[in-house]
């Protein structure tokens, strides 16, 4: 509290909604068109619930059959996706009991972790009536609802039809040559700035753009034989809509 520092450039990589909620961000740092894009970003909900278990019990064999008693399970029941992390036969393993999105994740949002685990176990019991998952649990479970975390407010961007213009404004923001002086020096990156949200690839792409923008802002440049994204911007820029 009370600490104030000055920087020549800033790179913001958190969800864009945080710039108008958790972070006190001066309105003059972005144009109104960009604020509109940042605020209209549409985030998807997502929830995961994990347990740690004594061993990878799912590799036990079904009697009189060669198959495992349990395997990675994608279902339209409550759990949606169940994933099994095998760290060695004689080592504890991890089960992601449930990985859900959107309305399936909203079903979990108000529930405490114990209830999420119980619901998931009840669902899996119906699919695997002979497997007693509960007796293998060795630690307190962990759960995350990204939309319920004030430092996220959502899992990842899920653009809607009509959002191309907003995406383009955010994606191209690293090219700051036409911005007003007070709007230069703050850069944004992350999967909500990218065209391919939900994948780290988009976060990396937009970070590379932002790094180029920062180098340029600080007066540096890339070597001629290895041009950066801003050097080739005019050639590769995503097309603007006629009314943009």
Ligand X SMILES: Cc1cc2nc3c(=O)[nH]c(=O)nc-3n(C[C@H](O)[C@H](O)[C@H](O)COP(=O)(O)OP(=O)(O)OC[C@H]3O[C@@H](n4cnc5c(N)ncnc54)[C@H](O)[C@@H]3O)c2cc1C
List of residues contacting ligand X (CB under 6 A): 13-14, 18, 22-23, 46, 146, 151, 155-156, 190-191, 198-200, 203
For ligand X, which is the closer residue by CB, 131 or 197?
Answer: 197
Q: How far is the CB of 173 from ligand X (least distance, A)?
A: 15
Cβ neighbours of 233 (radius 10 Å): 16
For ligand X, which is the closer residue by CB, 81 or 227?
Answer: 81
Q: How far is the CB of 206 from ligand X (least distance, A)?
A: 8
Q: Are 138 and 52 in contact (CB under 8 A)?
A: yes
For ligand X, which is the closer residue by CB, 131 or 155?
Answer: 155
Give backbone dihedrals phi and psi of 44, rounded to 5 degrees, phi first. Answer: -90, 150
For ligand X, which is the closer residue by CB, 56 or 197?
Answer: 197
Q: Which of 83, 89, 98, 96 is nearest to 59 (CA)?
A: 89
Residue entry with tokens 């799912």: 58
Q: How far is the CB of 12 from ligand X (least distance, A)?
A: 9
- E strands, 54-196, are 73-74, 81-85, 93-101, 142-145, 156-157, 186-188
For ligand X, which is the closer residue by CB, 111 or 208?
Answer: 208
Indicate if the alpha-carbon torsion angle 149, 151, 152, 153 is positive or negative. Answer: positive
Collapsing DSSP to helix, strand or coil, 227 comes out as coil
Cβ neighbours of 207 (radius 10 Å): 19
Q: Are 81 and 73 in contact (CB under 8 A)?
A: yes
Angle, helix 32-40 to helix 164-171, in steps of 10 degrees: 120
Q: How far is the CB of 172 from ligand X (least distance, A)?
A: 17
Q: How far is the CB of 46 from ligand X (least distance, A)?
A: 4
Q: Which of 152, 150, 168, 242 is nearest to 209 (CA)?
A: 168
Q: How far is the CB of 24 from ligand X (least distance, A)?
A: 10
For ligand X, which is the closer residue by CB, 57 or 104?
Answer: 104
Q: How far is the CB of 112 from ligand X (least distance, A)?
A: 19
For ligand X, which is the closer residue by CB, 18 or 29?
Answer: 18
Q: Please work out, in degrees rounded to the nearest 5, the angle formed at the alpha carbon of residue 199 by the alpha carbons of 32 and 164.
A: 35
């Amino acid at each position: 509290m009370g600490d104030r520092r000055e920087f020549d450039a800033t790179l913001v990589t958190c969800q864009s909604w945080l710039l108008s909620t958790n972070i006190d961000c001066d309105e003059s740092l972005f144009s109104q068109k960009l604020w509109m894009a940042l605020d209209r970003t549409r985030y998807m909900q997502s929830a995961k619930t994990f347990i740690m278990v004594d061993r990878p019990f799912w590799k036990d064999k079904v009697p009189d059959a060669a198959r495992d008693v349990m395997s990675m399970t994608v279902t339209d029941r409550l759990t949606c996706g169940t994933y099994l992390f095998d760290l060695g036969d004689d080592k504890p393993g991890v089960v992601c009991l449930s990985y859900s999105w959107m309305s399936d994740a909203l079903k979990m949002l108000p529930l405490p972790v114990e209830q999420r685990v119980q619901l998931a176990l009840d669902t899996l019991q119906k699919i695997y009536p002979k497997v007693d998952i509960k007796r293998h649990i060795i630690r307190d479970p962990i759960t995350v609802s990204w939309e319920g975390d004030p430092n996220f407010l959502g899992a990842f961007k899920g653009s809607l039809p009509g959002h191309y213009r907003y995406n383009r404004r955010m994606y191209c923001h690293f090219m700051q040559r036409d911005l007003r002086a007070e709007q230069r020096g703050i850069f944004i990156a992350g999967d909500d700035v990218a065209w391919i949200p939900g994948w780290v690839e988009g976060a990396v792409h937009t970070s590379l753009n932002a790094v180029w923008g920062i180098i340029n802002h600080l007066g540096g440049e890339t070597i001629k034989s290895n041009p950066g994204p801003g050097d080739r911007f005019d050639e590769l820029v995503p097309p603007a809509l006629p009314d943009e």
